Amino acid sequence: MGEKPRNSRIMQAAQARSTNKAPKPSRSTGLGRVIIAVYGILALAASVRAVYQIMSKFDEAPIAYSLSLFSGLVYILATFSLSSAKRGAWLVSLWAVAVELAGVIVVGILSLTHPEDFAHPSVWSGFGEGYGYVPLVLPIVGLWWLYRNRNERHA
């Protein structure tokens, strides 16, 4: 008559755990995938462009082309660290995205105040205007995403 269903305590415990804990967001799902994809596209675009420019016409604008290569390397580092679940990847991502933001701001200001040094545009010239200002907006979104997922930094 008053039989309890089998494993009722196990089911109750599982339900209690699922209501108390929301699933932990991951840097590589949802919006994180979009951010990683945009970083990957920028890494490819900036790196290939910089290598071509350095190999074919480095003497025309060495500062701009070197900065483009540096930005490509930063984007590569950010892409891989954002997509990694390894210990320490969160901190590497934070540093890569912060360096990117600083680079965009510094190079953006210098390209406006010293246009003679930027005869040819780099990825970060004019705050990334050649790339639709994505290089300016992306690190802000990236830092926000990393802050939102800061509980993963020790995972």
DSSP code string of 29-73: STHHHHHHHHHHHHHHHHHHHHHHHHHHHGGG-HHHHHHHHHHHH
Cβ contact 136:13 at 8 Å: no
Cβ contacts of 3 within 8 Å, gap of 6 or more: none
User: Higher model confidence: residue 108 or residue 1?
Assistant: 108
pLDDT above 70: residue 60: yes
Mean pLDDT of 127-145: 94
* Interatomic CA distance for residues 43 and 131, integer angstroms: 12
pLDDT above 80: residue 97: yes
Mean pLDDT of 49-76: 92
Q: What is the mean pLDDT of the chain?
A: 85
Mean pLDDT of 34-48: 95
Give the confidence band of 72 by pLDDT, cuts at 50, 70, 90.
Answer: very high
Residue type, 93: S
Percent of the chain with pLDDT strictly greater than 90: 59
User: Which one of 21-25, 72-76, 147-151 scores highest in mean pLDDT?
Assistant: 72-76
Give the confidence band of 8 by pLDDT, cuts at 50, 70, 90.
Answer: low
For tokens 């930005």, the residue is 71
pLDDT above 90: residue 55: yes
